[in-house]
Amino acid sequence: MKELHERKDRLEFNKLQKRLRRLTGSAIVDYNMIEDGDKVMVCLSGGKDSYTMLDILLSLQKTAPISFEVVAVNMDQKQPGFPEHILPQYLAALGVPYHIIERDTYSIVKEVVPEGKTTCGLCSRLRRGTLYGFADEIGATKIALGHHRDDIIETLFLNMFFGGKLKAMPPKLLSDDKRNIVIRPLAYCSEEDIAHFAELKGFPIIPCNLCGSQENLQRQVVKDMLVQWERQFPGRTETIFSAIRNVQPSQLADLKLFDFIKLETNKESADEDDDSCAITAPMGRMEEAVQYVDVLDIR
């Protein structure tokens, strides 16, 4: 009986690992994230996402048709109680080259951010700035961050709800000063898979709340909303992610993305290519269309 359970667990683990490898590999290829000769600086926070990213990248490195270097980097931000031995021990045992950058950003955020306000925004900006500079120092050609599909979708809704912008978090990004390329190899992977993988692998997780700050509460609200939707309509999260990859500027309203001003009719080509459109559909069909929209609950 015990053997059977072990076999089942192993099979489940192999399936999960294969899926994460396949999705990460696809994202890398789709966005040309890693090229031959790249030196990839993998940013490790000690959380489940970055451990998983490092693990999957190292396993892809062994079989990839291109050759690239992986260097792990962690930033010790001097939060009280940060267990500084955990990552060096883990990385040394793995045999992966690594650096630990020590910067007391904790004191800075405590000094600047008023008591009771969340410190995560400033903390992450300071961390990012330091990591970008360090990538230059060590000659890294790519900076890999552990954000996954669900982070990307949450960011989309946060920007929509609170920023009035239709923007998410790209799988590949050129930094504002154009000196660094940031990649997110886990862009296609779900948080659920990553959490499960991290648990099965038993990564030595370091919590990111040692400073006593809480993650953006609104992000948690959006996260809960998505979890709720997914429960009610399985597959919705993946559909939203597909939408992020399938944008139709002419069906939005951004004057910078689509030239609505210069829209012109072209009757000749319309006659040749008369594929009937919804507006000219007879009334009965319009009603059907409205019902269809109701069923999909997409209005």
106 contacts 77 by C-beta, under 8 angstroms: yes
Sheet bearing 39-44, strands edge to edge: 98-102, 69-76, 39-44, 142-144, 181-183, 172-174
Looking at the Cβ atoms of 16 and 101, the one nearer to ligand SF4 is 101
Which of 52, 74, 79, 180: binder of ligand SF4 (CB under 6 A)?
79
Looking at the Cβ atoms of 113 and 200, the one nearer to ligand SF4 is 113
Task: Choose one: 66-74, 149-157, 209-217, 238-246; the region binding ligand SF4 (CB under 6 A).
Answer: 209-217
Does 209 interact with ligand SF4 (rule: CB under 6 A)?
A: yes
In sequence order, the β-bridge partners of residue 44 are: 74
Looking only at Cα atoms, what is the longest distance across the chain? 73
Which of 23, 213, 222, 223: binder of ligand SF4 (CB under 6 A)?
213
**69-76 and 98-102 strand pairing:** parallel
Which of 44, 211, 222, 226: binder of ligand SF4 (CB under 6 A)?
211
Burial 118-137 (b: 16+ CB within 10 A, else e): ebbebbeebbbebbbebbee
Does 64 interact with ligand SF4 (rule: CB under 6 A)?
A: no
Chain residue at closest Cβ approach to ligand SF4: 123
Q: Between 115 and 134, how does the x/- string for binding to ligand SF4 read (CB under 6 A)?
A: ----xx--xx----------
Ordered DSSP codes for 128-165: HHHHHHHHHHHT-SEEE----HHHHHHHHHHIIIII--
Read off the DSSP letter of residue 34. Answer: -
Distance in Å, CB of 127 to ligand SF4, minimum: 7
Looking at the Cβ atoms of 65 and 116, the one nearer to ligand SF4 is 116
127 contacts 77 by C-beta, under 8 angstroms: yes
Question: Taking CB under 6 A as the criterion, which residues in 242-271 touch ligand SF4?
Answer: none
How many residues contact ligand SF4, by CB under 6 A? 10
Which of 181, 205, 208, 227: binder of ligand SF4 (CB under 6 A)?
208
Phi, psi of 196 (to 5 degrees): -65, -45
145 contacts 45 by C-beta, under 8 angstroms: no
Looking at the Cβ atoms of 23 and 53, the one nearer to ligand SF4 is 53
120 labelled ligand-binding:
yes
H-assigned helices in the chain: 2-30, 48-63, 86-94, 105-112, 120-138, 149-158, 191-201, 217-232, 236-244, 267-272, 283-296
Distance in Å, CB of 79 to ligand SF4, minimum: 5
Looking at the Cβ atoms of 96 and 210, the one nearer to ligand SF4 is 210
123 labelled ligand-binding:
yes
HSE (CB half, 13 Å, CA atoms) of 176? 2
Looking at the Cβ atoms of 52 and 77, the one nearer to ligand SF4 is 77
170 contacts 66 by C-beta, under 8 angstroms: no
Question: Taking CB under 6 A as the criterion, which residues in 157-186 touch ligand SF4?
Answer: none
Looking at the Cβ atoms of 96 and 108, the one nearer to ligand SF4 is 108
Question: Binding site membership for [4Fe-4S] cluster: which residues?
Answer: 120, 123, 211
Question: Binding site membership: which residues?
Answer: 120, 123, 211
Residues that bind ligand SF4 in the complex, under the rule CB under 6 A: 77, 79, 119-120, 123-124, 208-209, 211, 213
